[in-house]
Amino acid sequence: MSGAGPKGPRLGLGLSEDVDLLRFEQQAREAEAAPGPAPATPGEWIRQNLFSGPVNALLTLASGTFVLFVAYQILSFVFVSAQWEVVQVGMRGYMIGGFPVDEAWRVWASAYLVIVLAGLSYGVSARRLRPSAGQAAVGAVIVAVAGAIVFFTAQTALVRALTAGVAPAVFAGALVGRLLGRKILKPLVVAWVLVFPAIMIVVRGFDGVPPSEWEGFFFNIIAATVGIVASFPLGLLLALGRRSELPAVRVASVGFIELFRGVPLVAWLIFSKFVVDLVLPPQMVIPDIVKAFVAMTFFSAAYVGEIVRGGLQGVPAGQYEAARALGLSTTRMMALIVLPQALRSTIPAMISHFISLFKDTSLFVAIEVTDLLAAARRSASSLQYFGRDMETLLFAGLIFWAVAFSMSRWSQRLEVRLGVGRR
């Protein structure tokens, strides 16, 4: 599918040519959709695609051997030589680190809140977007892997039950969402807006757990959420500020972006911990983690601002003119006409950035936060399990990957729903 695609009428010169172009793209899409002449047998398919000439055959043999070798090495490690006990013992540490065990229900409650909401949302959208067989297969594999991990690692019956309950919760949510359909769309949006404050209350309220004790994967999730939710609106403002007619606003936006983008995130995190106190009056104490969250938000907002700016540049001048000619105020023009088009085209870049921000929450190790990755490494340096880094890192990597992959799939559904590249 073409990246930019036709955005309805274009500006400019040969508009009749543009119409032809639209037609051409439509034909191209149809050609893409239609499968070519299907090969008669699997043997035929292999001959056509893998051994169509001497060079191709050689390449197929070489790469095939390499892939098989790597796969054999990995599988033999995972199923034969690995000792997964280290992961089993360290599981709680990976998930919540030093979070007080007696308060762990707060994390479970938060997790279930998100899980049920996700299920509901999936159910509502699945009405119009059925997953294909391939998607369903990928989903089934992930569920099977997750189930196996739960089965082999859970240390108490309660944890086993709660983890196993995730799947039914998602399923029930999806079913309810599917039954109710778009009727609950607005309440769902409100619920998603309120879910983060709700989690903060569940975790911190009623003699809860202070941020300094948030650790493990729970920390990664919270930090990424804070970073994404806070940096998106700030980045939007930076992008608009960069295009402002007021020179002061423009200079300030550019300065902010260049400053925060130009220094590594790790450096900002450390600065936030040690340097901010130098400029603040001594009686003013801000928790380290809050300062670091602010630093991460600013860092991310600089990127979001540039991504949005790119999207804004893709909106043709004619769109502004049409909106103005209708008498829309500048605010309405931006909110109703320009930003929806600009943001839609930035979804791939934006999600990429947010995935990378999610993974970068591991960098909080620089200010002594034990996140999932740090917990994994630590558990492999204990006396009993010394040297079991492969197991712990593989597991941590799998968790990070699963979340990043989910974000990516979600963004693809969003693109389909919003018709990116089609209109």
Partner 1 sequence: MADRSATAGIEKAGDDRMIVADDVVKSFGHFQALKGVSMALNKAETVVIVGPSGSGKSTFIRTINRLERHDAGRIFVDGIELTDDIRNIAQIRSEIGMVFQSFNLFPHLTVLQNIGLAPRNVRRWPKKKAEEKVMQLLERVGIPEQAHKYPAELSGGQQQRVAIARALAMEPKIMLFDEPTSALDPEMIKEVLDVIEELAESGMTMIVVSHEIGFARHVADRVMLFDDGLLIEEAPPNRFFDDPQHERTKRFLSQIL
The stretch among 74-82, 186-194, 226-234, 324-332 that binds partner 1 (CB under 8 A) is 324-332
Give SS3 for 324.
helix
Q: How near is the Cβ of 412 to partner 1 at its closest, in Å?
A: 18
Instruction: Give whichever of 64 and 419 is closer to partner 1, judged by the CB atom.
Output: 419
4 binds partner 1 (CB under 8 A): no
Site for partner 1 in 91-150 (CB under 8 A): none
1 binds partner 1 (CB under 8 A): no
Residue closest to 308 by CA, chosen among 273, 279, 272, 343: 343
CA 236 distance to own-chain centroid: 18
DSSP line for 221-237: HHHHHHHHHHHHHHHHH
Cβ atoms within 10 Å of 77's Cβ, excluding its own: 13
Residue closest to 369 by CA, chosen among 99, 66, 48: 99
Q: How near is the Cβ of 32 to partner 1 at its closest, in Å?
A: 17
Q: What single letter denotes the amino acid at residue 310?
A: G
CA distance 343 to 212: 35
Q: Which of 318, 356, 401, 405 binds partner 1 (CB under 8 A)?
A: 318
Q: Which of 22, 200, 276, 366 binds partner 1 (CB under 8 A)?
A: 22
DSSP state of 210: -
The stretch among 37-45, 127-135, 223-231, 332-340 that binds partner 1 (CB under 8 A) is 332-340
Tally of helices (H runs) and strands (E runs) in the chain: 20, 0
Q: Which of 136, 161, 336, 402 binds partner 1 (CB under 8 A)?
A: 336
CA distance 392 to 374: 10
321 binds partner 1 (CB under 8 A): yes
Q: Which bin fits 359, alpha (ψ -120 to 50), beta or left (φ > 0)?
A: alpha
CA torsion angle for 393, 396, 402, 407 (degrees, to 10)?
-110
322 binds partner 1 (CB under 8 A): yes
Q: How near is the Cβ of 313 to partner 1 at its closest, in Å?
A: 16
- The b-or-e profile of 267-282 (16+ CB within 10 A means b, else e) is ebbbebbeebeeeeee
Q: Which of 1, 2, 19, 105 binds partner 1 (CB under 8 A)?
A: 19
Tell me the site size for partner 1, rule CB under 8 A.
34
Q: Which of 1, 8, 52, 382 binds partner 1 (CB under 8 A)?
A: 8
CA 91 distance to own-chain centroid: 23
328 binds partner 1 (CB under 8 A): yes
348 binds partner 1 (CB under 8 A): no
Instruction: Give whichever of 131 and 316 is closer to partner 1, judged by the CB atom.
Output: 316
29 binds partner 1 (CB under 8 A): no
Instruction: Give whichever of 41 and 331 is closer to partner 1, judged by the CB atom.
Output: 331
Cβ atoms within 10 Å of 174's Cβ, excluding its own: 20
Per-residue mark of binding to partner 1, 394-423 (x: CB under 8 A): ------------------------xx--xx
64 binds partner 1 (CB under 8 A): no
CA distance 37 to 50: 17
Which parts of this chain interact with partner 1 (CB under 8 A)?
6-12, 15-16, 18-19, 22, 316, 318-319, 321-329, 332, 336-337, 340-341, 344, 418-419, 422-423
